[in-house]
Structure 1
C-alpha cells in the first residue's frame, strides 16, 4: 500500500521509471509519506541515516560507487539546509544526487509555523534544477507535477551528472496509506545529442511508420530556416508540416493553419498519431489546443538545450539538437518513405482554406489594413524585413504575409517591438528597408524607441490604432465586465501625430478604405524617412470582421 498523497505517488512512480534503485532516508513526520513510499517500493533499496548532513554524503558515496543517481529524502525546515555541503561537493564532482525534501504548504511560510522556511531555491546555485511539486487537484496540475519531476530527473543526468532538488509540499493529514498501486506515470526520455545519428535514425524510422505523421515548426531565426528549406520541402512530401511565418522564409502564402482548424472542428481524422515539434514558440492558440487533444503514440520535442518543454502535454521524448541538424537527418531518413493519406487530407484542407482566404473581402478594419499592406508589397515586389508586434498584429501577419516575420515571441510581451525594429534598421540602414507593423498599446508603450538622434531613414511603421487593446474584445467572457474597455483594454484617444512631429517622422493617416489605399502608396514610396502610417479603426468593427473571417471557413 502506498501513500494517499498524489504528488508523492507521481514522484515515486517516476523515480522507479528513472532507474533510481537506492535512497537514503532521514527521520521526520512531514517526509513520512515519501519515506513510506520509498520503503514500500520493491525496486528501491532504502538506507536510514539519522543525521541529514551525513545522509547526503552517504548518498554521494553511493553515486561514486555505482555511477548511478541516488536519492536522499529529508523532512521540512533546516533538515534541507543540512544537505548543502554534500550538494556543493556533488556539484563540483558532477555526481547525480537527488535531494527530496518534504515541505509545508506555501500558505504557512513566514507564519511562525514549525519547521517552515523558504525551501524552493534553498540549495542554489549548486543544483542543476530545483522544482517544487504542486499538490494536484485536476489533470492539468497532475501533468505539471509529472513534467517537473521529469525535468529534474533529466537535469540530474545531463553533461556528466549533477545534483537536483525536488521539493514536495505535503498537507495534513500525512498518514493515509490507502493507495493499492502507483500510477503509471509518463517518463519523458531525454536524448542528449543529435550527434548520436543512430538514435535519431531509429527515432525517424519510428516516426515515419506512423499512419498520421506531423511535424510542427516553431519560431526559428531566418538563417536556420533558409538553410533548411530543401529539407523541409522533402519532409513535406511524406508528412504534414505545419509552420507559421515565424518559421518560414520561403516566399509563399502563409499556411492557413487556424483556418483549417476552424473548419475541421472535432474531426479526429486530422489528428496526428506521431508528432515532432522543432524550434521555439507557435503563435496559434488554436494549434496548441488542437495538439493537446492528440494523445500521440510518439511525441518528440527538439531543442538545442535539451529542455523538457512539453507544450502539447503528451511528450514522449526530448531530443537535444540544433533544428537544422535534426531537419537534415529527418529529411535523409525520409527518402523512400511512402506518402500517407493523412498528408493528402491536410493538403486538400489547406487548398480549400487558401481559396476561401483569397476570396474574402473584409470591410474596413485592421484585418483589411494588414491585407492591403501585404497585397501591395507583393504586387509591387517591394523588398524589406517585417517586424510584427505581439497580440492581434502578429496573428494578422500570419494570415497575409508571404515572407518571414520577426516578432519578440520568446516572452510574448507588448514591450520592445518598436525598439527591436529600430535596432535592426540601424544595423542595416545601408542595406534594406524595415517595416514594423504594430498595435497602438505596443507603440505608445515603446515610443521612446523614436527618441533617437540616429533614427534610421529605412524604418517604416504601420500603426494599427483602434483606441485600446483590441484583442480583449475577442476574448469570450470579458464583455460581461463593465471595466473591459476602460481598464482591461486600456482604452484611449491618443494619436501618434504629435510624436512624429517631435521626432521628425513623416506622418500619414487613414480612417477609411479610400484613405488607406492612397496612404499606402505614399507610405511605400516616400522620398524620405522614417515614415509612419497611422490607421484608425473601431474595435467593434475589428472584432466583427475577424469573426466573420473565421466563420467563412
Structure 2
C-alpha cells in the first residue's frame, strides 16, 4: 500500500502528533503518565518520556499499570494518563476503569492502534478498541491518523479529554490513537505554535429556593447527617461540623468520609454507629425525622438497614455531580451543588432541635465503647494500634472485605489528620497493591495499606512495580476469606472449598523475591514495626497472622452483648 509521505517523514509525523497530544495532557493538568511497553505505542511513549513536564513510569503489566494510575489519581486529585499498545493490552485496563468510573477517579486512557486498513482483516495484534469501555468513560473518541495540519486539533482533543476526566462527572476518558508504520522517529520534530486551551471548573452554588424548602423541613426537628465515603473529592469536614452544631444533629461518619479524623469539631461525630444500631431497642428510640446525606452509600450494612426502614421522612442527598447514590430509592431531595455551599447555606437557615436526641446517640456511643473495651476482638486492638500509631497526614488504603469493615466497626477517630481510602467503587479485592504503589508515587506523606491475605495474593505480582517507592503494607492473614465466616455462606458444607479458600502460598518467599522487606509481626510488636516502616525507605510488608476461629468467636460474643445492652 502506498502512502503520500516518505516512510521517514511518516515516523517523524507520528512523533510530532504524539507530542501534540502530550502537550494537551500537560495543559489539562496531567503530571504522571504510566507506560506499558509495546511497539505500536512507540510515538506516544517516546513523546511522554521526553516531555519535560510529564513524569513517566514504565510498568510491564497493563492491569497493574491501570490500578497504579488509579492510585496516583486518588492521591493527587489530578488525572493520570495510561499508554498501551494495541491488542489485548488495552483490555487489561478494564477492572481499573470500572473502579475509576464508579469511584469518580480521573483517568486518561491512550490506546495505540493499527490504522483502519489493518482492522477486521486478520492483521496481527488487532482488536476492536474503539468504545471498548462503553459507558464507563465520560469521553471517548478515535483520533484521525496523524496529519501535519491538525497538530492543534490533536492537542485540543487531549485537553478536552483531560477536562472531561474532571468535570462534570469525574472518571475515565479514552482516546484511541491509530498510527501507521514506521513508528520510530528519526529527527524527533516538535510541532510549532501549539496553544492549548486553559481549563477551569465551576463551583456549583445551591439553589436558594431549594435550600429554603429543605431548611424548613429539617429545622428544629431531630435528624441525622450521614457522611459516606468520599467520591473523588474530600468532603467539607469543617462546614458539615458547623451545620451539625446548628442542628444539634449527630454526624454518622463512615471511615471513608474522613470526618472521624482531623482538627475540625468532632464532638458530634458518632463513629460507632454500626455497633450502636445493633441494639434494636436503641435503633427504635432514635428514629429520625430527616436524613441528610453527603458522599456515597456507607459501608455499614447495619446502618443501611436502619436507613431502609425510614419510610415517610425527608431524605436529602447532596451530590455536586448529580449521580444518584441511592440504592434504597428513598431520596426526596437531590441538592446538585457544592457540598460546602450546601452546608453553609443550610446552616444559615436552620434552628436546632432539642439536645435530647443528640445526647441519646452520644450516650449509646459511650456505652458501646465500654462494651468493646471489655469484649474486644483482637482486630479491634489492631485497628486501635494502627490508627493511633500512624504519622500525621498518613494515607491509609484499606482493602475490601473484612479490613474496611473492621475500620468501620472499631476506628474511633483521632485529632491528627488521617486520610483513609479504599477501592470502594466496585469493592473488588483486585489491584489493591498496585493502587497503594500508585498512591505512593504521587505524594510525599506516608502511605500504608491494610489488606487481607487473599487481597495480597490476588495482586501480589504488582510488587514488581515497587522499585523506588516508599510504602508499608500491613497484611492481616486469617488464612483465607474470613469475611465469609460472617455471611450466610458460612453454614454451607462447601464453605471452605468455594468461599473461604484457605491458601498455602509461601508469602515470605514471594514477597522477598520481589525485593520487598518482609517482617512478621505480632499485636505486641505492631506499634513499633508500623512506626519504623512508615519512616523508612522502600516498601515493607508486615505480616500478622490471626486465628480465624478465635476471631469469629470473639466477634459473636461482641455482637451478642451489643444486641442486648
The two structures have a TM-score, normalised by structure 2, of 0.57
Q: Which residue of 2 aligns with 1:53?
A: none
User: Which structure 2 residues correspond to residues 210-359 of structure 1 after superposition, within 5 A?
Assistant: 211-220=221-230, 224-225=234-235, 227-237=236-246, 238-249=248-259, 250-251=261-262, 255-265=271-281, 267-334=283-350, 336-359=351-374
Q: Does 1:545 align with 2:560?
A: no
* Rounded Cα–Cα distance in structure 2 between residues aligned with 1:395 and 1:530: 25
Single out whichever of 367-376 and 298-307 deviates more from structure 2.
367-376
- Answering whether residue 491 of structure 2 is matched by residue 480 of structure 1, we say yes
Per-residue CA deviations over 1:445-471 (Å, capped at 9, x if unaligned) read 111221116341x20000011111101
Contact residue 463 and residue 532 of structure 1 kept, 8 A:
yes
2-side partners of 1:279 and 1:248: how far apart?
Answer: 11
User: Who is 1:440 aligned against?
Assistant: 453
Selected match of 2:524 from 517, 530, 535:
517
Do the aligned partners of residues 491 and 423 (structure 1) sit closer, same or farther apart at CA in structure 2, a change above 3 Å counting? same
1:503 counterpart = 2:514? yes
Query: In the TM superposition, what is the alpha-carbon distance from 1:246 to its structure 2 partner?
Result: 1.0
Matching of residues 91-240 of structure 1 within 5 Å: 194-209=205-220, 211-220=221-230, 224-225=234-235, 227-237=236-246, 238-240=248-250
1:418 aligned residue (414, 427, 433): 433
**Structure with max Cα Rg:** 1
Distance 1:309 1:236 in 2: 25
| C-alpha distance in structure 2 between counterparts of 1:206 and 1:325, whole Å | 18
Contact (CA 8 Å) 1:288, 1:311: kept in 2 or not? Answer: no
Instruction: Please give the per-residue CA displacement for 1:189-208, whole angstroms capped at 9, x wherever unaligned.
Output: xxxx7531122122122122
- Assess if the C-alpha contact under 8 Å between 2:315 and 2:331 holds in 1: yes
Seen in structure 2, the aligned counterparts of structure 1 residues 532 and 247 have a Cα distance that, compared at 3 Å, is same
The match for 1:31 is none
Report deviation, 1:315: 2.3
Tell me: CA distance 1:339–1:417, structure 2 relative to 1, closer, same or farther (3 Å): farther
Change (3 A) 1:437 1:308: closer
> Per-residue deviation at 1:367?
4.0
Distance 1:383 1:278 in 2: 22
Secondary structure at 1:516's aligned position in 2?
coil
Q: Is the 8 A contact 2:400 2:422 kept in 1?
A: yes
Give the superposition deviation at 1:222.
8.9
**Secondary structure of the residue that 1:437 maps to in structure 2?**
strand
Tell me if the contact between 1:523 and 1:532 (Cα under 8 Å) persists in the aligned partners: no
Indicate how the Cα distance of structure 1 residues 445 and 455 shifts in structure 2: closer, same or farther if over 3 A, else same: farther
The TM-score, its normalising length taken from structure 1, stands at: 0.58
Change (3 A) 1:536 1:330: same
1:112-155 CA-to-partner distances (Å, cap 9, x unmatched) read: xxxxxxxxxxxx99xxxxxxxxxxxxxxxxxxxxxxxxxxxxxx
**Structure 2 counterparts to residues 79-98 of structure 1, below 5 A:** none
Deviates more, 1:467-476 or 1:267-276: 267-276
1:505–1:531 Cα contact (<8 Å) kept = yes
Q: Please, which of 524, 531, 541 is the counterpart of residue 540 of structure 2?
A: 531
In the alignment, what sits opposite 1:372?
Answer: 385
Q: Spell out, residue by residue over 1:13-50, the C-alpha distance to the aligned partner (whole angstroms, 9 max, x if none).
A: xxxxxxxxxxxxxxxxxxxxxxxxxxxxxxxxxxxxxx
Distance 2:446 2:483 in 1: 28
Inter-partner Cα distance in structure 2 for 1:346 and 1:304 = 29
**Rounded Cα–Cα distance in structure 2 between residues aligned with 1:234 and 1:491:** 47
| Offset of residue 542 of structure 1 | 1.9
- Report deviation, 1:440: 1.1
Which of 400, 404, 422 lines up with 1:394 in the alignment? 404
Aligned length: 349
Alpha-carbon distance, 1:425 to partner: 0.7
Partners of 2:354 and 2:384 in 1: how far apart? Answer: 34
- Shift of residue 474 of structure 1? 0.9
Q: Please, which runs of 5 or more residues in structure 1 have no aligned partner?
A: 1-123, 126-158, 160-192
Structure ranking higher on relative contact order (CA contacts 8 Å, 6+ apart): 2
Q: Give CA-to-partner distance per residue, 1:485-526, whole Å, 9 cap, x none.
A: 12122221224212221111111114xxxx432354234214
